[in-house]
Amino acid sequence: MMLNNFINVSQQGGSSEFEHMVSALDSAFDFTHTEASQDFTGGAFVQLYDLTKGFYQTHFQHIYQHYVPLYFSLWKLRVKDTIGLENMHQDGGIHYFASNGYQSRMITLWTALHKDPMPSLSASDLGLFVVDSENPSHFTLYERLAQTNTHYYRSAPGLLRDIRQIGNSSVCYDEHTLERQVYDYVNGTTIQFNSHLLHGTNSIAEQAHLSRKEYDCFRAALTSVWIHRDDFNHAILNMHLEDYAQLYLAGIEPQGWAKIKCQQAHLCNKEIGRIETITQLARHHLSNPASLEAGL
């Protein structure tokens, strides 16, 4: 069965909700001045949710009312950190909460917040690329990924590895037939796509001719992931911490769990942290009066 790509590009720049959100985010995280690069907000999902709630309620009302948030991050990338960058992936942790596997309606919203002037670069540089599931050349790849019911990252040319890094799950693909659909970075624009899709940063070629000043320029984007209420695995909200192994070790035979927990304790703890952080965010949203009203 073909995977719906849910791809849509919309503009929110100039609206009062967008401008208020950018100001609130900058006040909280100082993202226009910090030297940190990539996701520097960590597990601040609930804080980001509260700061951006008005934006989503206004511009993505259907998603806010009928979906449950699973992930929030503020990504800042400097030019010098994206030269030759290869970060194709599917987001980690979110797939645990999909009760219908890859057929679960899960949407990523990638909103461009700020980009320094970079005259030597094109609009697509530092933008986003998506590997479209509705492209016939990708049907086989997504069918194989769906069979494993986990998410992956590109660890080498032609090789995808389980994002959990627990166990040995991997999928090979043909690097030459993979088509990356690139979207320009435009301030105030949101790119929407199915969260099961492989995606990443449109990196800058190593031979690019840049001015010295441009190496320290950056762009920032707000990313959030939402899953439809009917596809959300509500049972996880009632799980105890020790039960999370049923999720992050699902791809491994139960008799091997004790060994994995011992030998790869740091990776197991990382997955436990992901599940707990997402659970806190989901509970926070579902307890919101506007959300409760929508769920009636």
Q: Is the Cβ–Cβ distance between 137 and 177 less than 8 Å?
A: yes
pLDDT value of residue 173: 95
Does residue 154 belong to any structural domain of this protein?
no
Q: Mean pLDDT highest for which of 118-122, 140-144, 214-218?
A: 140-144
Taking residue 218's Cβ as centre, other Cβ atoms within 10 Å add up to 21
* Helix (H), strand (E) at residue 1: none
pLDDT at 140 > cutoff 80: yes
Query: Is the CB of residue 124 less than 8 Å from the CB of residue 182?
Result: yes
- CATH code where residue 81 lies: 2.60.120
Residue 208 has pLDDT above 90, yes or no: no
The residues near 115 (Cβ < 8 Å, ≥ 6 apart) are 126, 185, 187, 218, 219, 220
Q: The tokens of 295 are what?
A: 């769920």
Helices (H), the chain: 16-29, 45-59, 61-66, 79-82, 139-148, 245-248, 257-263, 265-286, 289-294
What is the reported pLDDT for 257?
94
Identify whether 278 is part of a domain.
yes
Matching residue, tokens 């949203």: 285
Distance from C-alpha of 214 to C-alpha of 80, rounded to nearest angstrom? 8
Q: Residue 59 sits in which domain range?
A: 7-135+183-291
Q: Average pLDDT for residues 60-88, to the nearest whole number?
A: 94
Q: Which residue has the tokens 């000043």?
A: 213
Range of lowest pLDDT (33-42, 59-68, 132-141): 33-42
CA–CA separation, 97 and 152 (whole Å): 16
Angle at 31 between CA 128 and CA 46, to 5 degrees: 85
Model's pTM, two decimal places? 0.94
Task: With a cut of 90, say whether residue 68 has pLDDT above it.
Answer: yes
pLDDT at site 292:
56
Identify the pLDDT of residue 1: 59
> Radius of gyration over alpha carbons of the chain, in Å?
19
Parallel, antiparallel, or unpaired for β 38-39 and 189-194?
Answer: unpaired
Number of domains in the chain: 1
- Band of the pLDDT at 171, cuts 50, 70, 90? very high
Q: What is the arithmetic mean of pLDDT over 150-166?
A: 94
Among 97, 17, 63, 96, CA closest to 291? 63
Q: Give percent of the chain above pLDDT 90.
A: 78
Domain membership of residue 212 (yes or no) is: yes
Task: Provide the terminal-to-terminal Cα distance of the chain, rounded to the nearest Å.
Answer: 31
